[in-house]
Amino acid sequence: MQKLYYFGMAIKYNGNTKTFYLSGKSFAYVFGVNQFGYLQNYHFGKPVDVADDLSYMFVPVERGLAASIPDSAGRHNGLDTMPLEYPFFGGSDMRHGAFLSVSDTGLRQEDLRYKSHKITKDKPSIKGLPSLRRGGQTLIITLASKAVEVKLFYTVYEDCNTIARRTVIKNIGYKNLKLERVASLSLDLPNMNYDMVSLWGKHCGERHIERAPLRKGIQSVYSLRGASSPHFNPFLALCDPNADERQGNVIGISYIYGGNFLMSCECDFVGGTRIYAGFPDFDFGYNIHKGESFETPETALVFSDTGFGGMSRSYHDLYRGYLINPNFASNPRPIVINNWEATYFDFDDDKLCKIVDAAAPLGIDTFVLDDGWFGKRNSDTSGLGDWYVNKNKLHNGLTTIINRCKDKGMKFGLWFEPEMISEDSDLFRTHPEWRMQVPNAKPSPSRSQYVLNLSRQDVVDYLKQTLGDMLRTHDISYVKWDYNRHITDVHCTLLPPEKQQEILHRYMLGFYELVEYLTTTFPHVLFEGCSSGGGRFDPSMLPYFPQHWTSDNSDAWARTFIQYGTSLCYPLSSMAGHVSVCPNHQTGRNTPLESRGIMASLCAFGYELDISQMSDHERAIVKTQIEVYRRDISPLILNGDLYRLKSPFEGNLVNNSFAFLVVSKDKQKALLAYMQGTSECSPAPKTLKLDGLNPRQKYKLSRVHFDPATKNRKPLGGFPSAYTDSFDTIALSGSTLMSCGVPLPSFGWDFGAVMYLVEQV
C-alpha cells in the first residue's frame, strides 16, 4: 500500500517516493531525496497531482568530461546537470553551488546528503534578522556531511503563492568552519527559456525595470556597498518570454536583507538554470566554531501564472500581511509636510512656524523637521552624531515648534541620520574610534560624512541610549531615518584578523538590533526609512519602517518610472511620495500641481515645499487633494489590489503614459490614475482597459477635479483636445470596462494627469 502522509494543506510528504509536495493557491513546488541521498528538485510551477511520482522528470545522461556517480542500474549520473535543492562545492557538480566553506583543517568539500526532516505548524524566527511573521506550515530538512549540518527551512504562505526559504548552518565537527558562500535559497530549473527582470537604479532614479532573455553563463544583481543600495534591488524575476502584466508564468525572488547580497542565474551547457540568492562570495567570510550555527536571511519565492500583476499582488499581500509592522500596515498614515525642500538648512523657529500655520488649515496632520536641527549643523559638512538641538537656530530647543504643532492640532516628526558621523562633531572628538576606518589610513568621505561602526556593541548601545532619550523627552510621533552614504574603509579593531570579513554582516545585525529596540520601545512612533531617497528600499526594512522615502527625485514624471518599478515587489503603502515645487529641484521640470498630487497620492502622502508661499488657488487644490486622499485614496493604497495598466517604460518621447488601477478587495471601489507624458497635436483616441473588477457588477466612474481651473482648460493655440467627463454619469458593467475600456483625455499640455473614482452602483 502506498504510504502518503498528509500534514495539512500546504506540505505533503510521500514516504514511498521520498518526495515533498509544497503547494499554495496556484502553485506546486516538488522535490525529493534521490537514490544518492541528494535533494533533487522536480518541479516549481503550476499545481500537480500529489499522487504522482515526479522523479521521472530527470533523465540521467552521461556527459563528456564530467565526473559521475554510477546509479543502481549502472548508469552514470553527473551531478553536473542534476537539478539540486542545495548544491555544494566539490563532487561532480561544476556549477556555482549554494555552499562553500573551509575548515580549520583545510577541508573544502562537504558532501551534504539528506539526514532527516520535520514538518511543523510553527515558524521559528531568525535570530537577529527580520523575517516574515508566522504563516502556514514549515518544512525543515536536515542535510549533513561528517562535520557540517545544514537545515533548509521552507514556510508556505498558501494565499500569497509564496515559499519563504532560509538556511541554518551548524558546525558539528571542526574546531572552526569559515563560510565563504552561503545561499538562503538555491533553485535549479530544468530550462532557461525565461526573461530575467531586475530593478536597477541610481540616486534619484531608483528601481527602473530591466528585462532581457537569459543567456548561457551567469547574470546577476548584487551589492558590495554595505547596503542593499539603489543600484540593484535585492529582487529578481524570471518569466516566460511572452509574460506580461496579465498573463504568463513568473517566478519572483525577493531577498529580505539590507546588506551586501548576490542574486544570480547560472545557465549551464545543457540549458538548465540555477538561481542563487544569498551572501556574495566576494569579500564575505564568516567563522563558526564547533557547536555554533549561522543563520541566513530569508527569501520570499513567489510563483504567479497571471503574469507580473499576479506576482506583485502576491508580494503586496505577503509584505502587508506578514512583514510590515502590524501597528502600521493597514492603518491610515500621517499626511506630512516636510521642510527639506522648503528651507534646506536655512531655517529658524519663525520660518518653521509659518509652514505649520499654513499647513494646518489644509488638513495636513504632521510636520516633519528635516536635517539641520542638531549639533552645529548649518550645512552637510558638520554635526552628524550630535543628536541634541542646535540652540543657535532653535533658541528654545524643539519646544516652540512642537508646541506650535500641538496648538494647530498637528503632530511632530524629526529627522535623524543615526548611522553616520561628521569629523566636525562632538561625537567624533570624543569617540574617533567609532568611525569605520582602517587603522593609519585616511578614510574616504562621502557628502563630508563617515559611517559609524555598528558592528561594535558599544556604538549600538550608545545610539539606543541617545535616540531613546530624544524620543522619551520630546513629543515625537514620526521619525525620518536617513542613511546618505555607502560603507568603505571596512575594518574593526575589536575583531581578530580572521573575522574582518564578518564586519558588514555584523554591521547589519547591529543595525537590526538598534531599530528593533527603538521600534518596540516606542511602538507609537512611525519610523520612515530613507537613504538619499530610496537607496535602501528593501524588504528587510519593512518590519521597522512601514514606509520609505521612495526617491529624492520628487518630479512627478520621473516618479512614474520609479513608482512603477518599485511596485513590482513593494506595496504602494510602503512608498512615500510628496508634492514639491516647480520647477522641480531635481529635474528642473514643470508639471501641473494636480499631476504632482496624483502621483504622490499613489503613496503614503505628503508635501515638501514652502506651503506658506502658495497662492490661494494652489492652497485650494492642496485642500482638495488632502480631503480626497484621506477619504477615498488612502484605504485603497493601504489595502487594495494593484493593476498596472500602462507602463512608462514602454513609451517614447512623444507617446508615453502611466496608469495604475487600485481595486478594493471586495471589488466595490477602485481608483484609476493616469498620467500623460509630453503632449501631442491631433492625438489618436486612447482607451484603457480596466482590470480586476467584478464583471457582473455595474460601476460609475467619476473624475476627481482637484483643480477647477483645468476642468475646461483649452490647449494653447486652440487646438482641440479630448475631454472625457461625458461618461461621468454612465453606469457600466465591470465586464464592459475590462473588455472595451474607458476613453482617456489627451491633455493639450505636458504631463497632464487625471484620477477617476470607480464605484459600484
The residue from 482, 538, 641, 691 that is catalytic is 482
Q: Would you say 78 or 258 has its CB closer to ligand DGJ?
A: 258
Instruction: Quickly list H helices, 629-740.
Output: 634-639, 708-711, 734-739
Cβ closest to ligand DGJ, residue 340 vs residue 544: 340
Q: Which three cell numbers stand for residue 555?
A: 518630479
DSSP letter string, 123-138 = -PPPTTS--PPP-S-E
Q: How far is the CB of 229 from ligand DGJ (least distance, A)?
A: 14
Residue 365 or residue 552: which is nearer to ligand DGJ going by CB?
552
Cell readout for 93 is 557538480
595: left (phi over 0), alpha (psi -120 to 50) or beta: alpha
CB atoms < 10 A from the CB of 671, how many? Answer: 25
Q: Other C-beta atoms within 10 Å of 566: how many? A: 28
Nearer to ligand DGJ, 285 or 533 (CB): 533
Distance from first CA to last CA of the chain, Å, rounded? 57
CB of 345 to ligand DGJ, least distance (A): 8
Of 324, 266, 277, 269, the C-alpha closest to 301 is 277
Rounded to a whole number of angstroms, the minimum distance from the CB of residue 380 to ligand DGJ is: 6
Closest separation in Å from C-beta 343 to ligand DGJ: 11
Q: In the numeric block, which cell numbers belong to residue 625?
A: 487633494
Residue with smaller CB distance to ligand DGJ, 157 or 415: 415
Side chain identity at residue 462, one-letter code = Y
Q: How far is the C-alpha of 589 from the C-alpha of 582, rounded, in Å?
A: 7
8 A C-beta contact, residue 142 and residue 86? no
- At residue 567, what is the residue type? S
Question: By C-beta, is 249 or 338 nearer to ligand DGJ?
Answer: 338
State in angstroms the smallest separation of the CB of 447 from ligand DGJ: 8
Q: Among 396, 394, 372, which residue's Cα sits nearest to residue 382?
A: 372
Write down the least CB distance from residue 530 to ligand DGJ, Å.
Answer: 5
Name 390's Cβ contacts closer than 8 Å, sequence gap at least 6. Answer: 372, 373, 374, 375, 376, 377, 378, 383
Least distance CB 344 / ligand DGJ (angstroms): 8
The residue annotated as part of the active site, out of 305, 552, 691, 707, is 552
Q: How far is the CB of 382 from ligand DGJ (least distance, A)?
A: 12
CB of 656 to ligand DGJ, least distance (A): 26
The strands making up 27-33's β-sheet, listed across from edge to edge, are 4-6, 11-14, 19-24, 27-33, 39-45
Ramachandran area for residue 279 (φ above 0: left; ψ -120 to 50: alpha; else beta): beta
Q: Which residue type is seen at 215?
A: R
Residue 578 cell numbers, joined: 510628496
Task: Let me know if 707 is a catalytic residue.
Answer: no
Furthest-apart CA atoms within the chain: distance in Å: 86
CA distance 685 to 720: 12
The least CB distance from residue 342 to ligand DGJ, in Å, is 12
H or E element, residue 206: strand 205-213
CB of 295 or CB of 341, closer to ligand DGJ: 341
Please choose, from the candidates 181, 123, 230, 142, the residue with its C-alpha nearest in 3D space to the C-alpha of residue 531.
230
CB of 600 vs ligand DGJ, minimal distance in Å: 14
Closest to ligand DGJ by CB, 17 or 381: 381
Nearer to ligand DGJ, 303 or 545 (CB): 545
Give the residue with the Cβ less far from ligand DGJ, 220 or 446.
446
Provide the CB-side half-sphere exposure for 173 (13 A, CA): 12
Neighbouring residues of 108: CB distance < 8 A, sequence distance ≥ 6: 89, 90, 100, 101, 102
Q: Measured at CB, which residue is nearest to ligand DGJ?
A: 371
> DSSP code of 136?
S
Instruction: Write down the least CB distance from residue 385 to ligand DGJ, Å.
Output: 14
**Of 421 and 693, which CB lies nearer to ligand DGJ in the complex structure?**
421
Q: What are phi and psi of 307, to 5 degrees?
A: 70, -160
CA angle 461–467–473, rounded 5-degree value: 130
Q: Look up cell 546528503; give the residue.
A: 113
Instruction: Give whichever of 82 and 579 is closer to ligand DGJ, judged by the CB atom.
Output: 579
Q: Which residues of 274-302 are buried (b: 16+ CB within 10 A; e: fewer)?
A: bbbbbbbbeebbbbbeeeeebbbbbbbbb
Catalytic site residue 370? no
Residue 523, helix vs strand vs coil: coil
Q: Provide φ and ψ at 547, rounded to 5°.
A: -140, 160
Cα–Cα distance measured from residue 278 to residue 261, given in angstroms and rounded to the nearest whole number: 6
**Residue 263 grid coordinates:** 542574486
Is the CB of residue 476 less than 8 Å from the CB of residue 413? Answer: yes
Q: What angle do CA 15, 19, 21 make, to 5 degrees?
A: 115
CB of 371 to ligand DGJ, least distance (A): 3
Binding residues (CB under 6 A) for ligand DGJ: these are 340, 370-371, 415, 482, 484, 530, 532-533, 549, 552
585 vs 648: CA distance, rounded Å: 22
Q: Distance between CA 491 and CA 428 in Å, rounded?
A: 17
The CA dihedral of 495, 499, 505, 507, to the nearest 10 degrees, is 10
Helices (H), 360-446: 399-407, 426-430
Just list the catalytic residues. 482, 552
